[in-house]
Amino acid sequence: MPNPNHPLSEILTNNVRLCSLEVSSNRPVDYNILNKMKYTFCSVIWIGNYNKAPEHVGPLALAKELINKGITVVLHFACRNNTKNSCTANLDYAKQIGVRNLMVVRGASPECNVADKKYDFSHTPEMLNFIKSRYGDYFELCVAGFPYKHPDSKDLEDDMKYLKEKNDAGAKFIITQACFSYNVYREFLDNCRKHGINMRIIPGVYIIRSVIDFCFLQKLCKVPQSDPLVQKIKQMEGNDKEIADFGIKTSLDTVKKLLADKDFCPPHVYTMDELSSISNFFKILNEQK
């Protein structure tokens, strides 16, 4: 059995200012690229099915593969894609293969959008409490945060109320959805602290490389039309190269500011499995330091 992975609280010290990476089991990880990159951990997206044995669940197989290569893993784990029985089976297996860190999310796939009563865990705090009651402090727990507010929340105050529930249920870290400016991340952090949310915040970042990236991420991240970057992009409409250049420049500026701000943990890069592009982005980032 592999040695247990490191908990995030051990590796995310202020003197380690390296980005982390998200990967998925949708396609094989290119270790020729990954092994040349410097990062603190990899998170693994949950694409699960509670009707499968744990060893046949793609994210668990990938987590095991990464851990066997000495890579610290944060395993995403979806409430609405698990029953109490599958949660126990999957987490017992995760513990067996050395996973120490979980990113507990509600779940966003189509089967996760039916009536709450259909699920053993309809919302994140319920699963957090279940995990803490069964596993104690073995797993370090992360949850999602939404700088522009969760799409289902009425407003930011409503959103903070639900985030505080996750804080009080024992989560230690927030990994945020992406936004397009450092100032929005900063406002989110300040708002969390004002509401007594003391979890450490890992800012999630998408790298904007094209107009397609921008349109996709604007929809995915629910970026409001009033956001200054949206307005700036609208002024460049029809000029794809200008938008791509601006997107890379904006992403570089945001990541550099987040790396310099020790009130945040170092940023977490959503790779969309495009490791080659992210590796090139890191090269540019290192050249500009």
Distance, in Å, from the CA atom of 255 to the CA atom of 39, rounded to the nearest integer, reads 14
Tell me the CATH number at 143: 3.20.20.220
pLDDT of residue 1: 44
Residues whose CB falls within 8 Å of the CB of residue 191, separated by 6 or more in sequence, listed in order: 156, 160
Length of the chain: 289
- The model's pLDDT over 130-173, given as tens digits with 9 standing for 90+, comes to 999 999 999 999 999 999 877 788 888 889 999 999 999 999 99
Residues whose CB falls within 8 Å of the CB of residue 7, separated by 6 or more in sequence, listed in order: 100, 101, 140
Once rounded to an integer, what is the mean pLDDT over residues 67-86? 94
- The model's pLDDT over 35-66, given as tens digits with 9 standing for 90+, comes to 999 999 999 999 877 788 999 999 999 999 99
Once rounded to an integer, what is the mean pLDDT over residues 171-177? 97
Structural domain contains residue 38: yes
pLDDT of residue 4: 61
Once rounded to an integer, what is the mean pLDDT over residues 185-207? 96
Banded model confidence at residue 14, pLDDT cuts 50, 70, 90: confident
Once rounded to an integer, what is the mean pLDDT over residues 245-263? 93
Structural domain contains residue 3: no
Structural domain contains residue 265: yes
- The model's pLDDT over 77-99, given as tens digits with 9 standing for 90+, comes to 999 889 999 999 999 999 999 99
Cα angle 106, 180, 231 (rounded to 5 degrees) comes to: 120
Structural domain contains residue 190: yes
Cβ burial, residue 241 (10 Å; 0-12/13-18/19+): exposed
Distance, in Å, from the CA atom of 169 to the CA atom of 171, rounded to the nearest integer, reads 6
Taking the alpha carbons of 30, 36, 38, 40 in that order, is the dihedral positive or negative?
Answer: positive
The residue assigned the tokens 């949708």 is 26
Structural domain contains residue 119: yes
- pTM value > 0.85: yes
Residue-range definition of the domain harbouring residue 258: 8-288
How many independent structural domains does the chain possess? 1
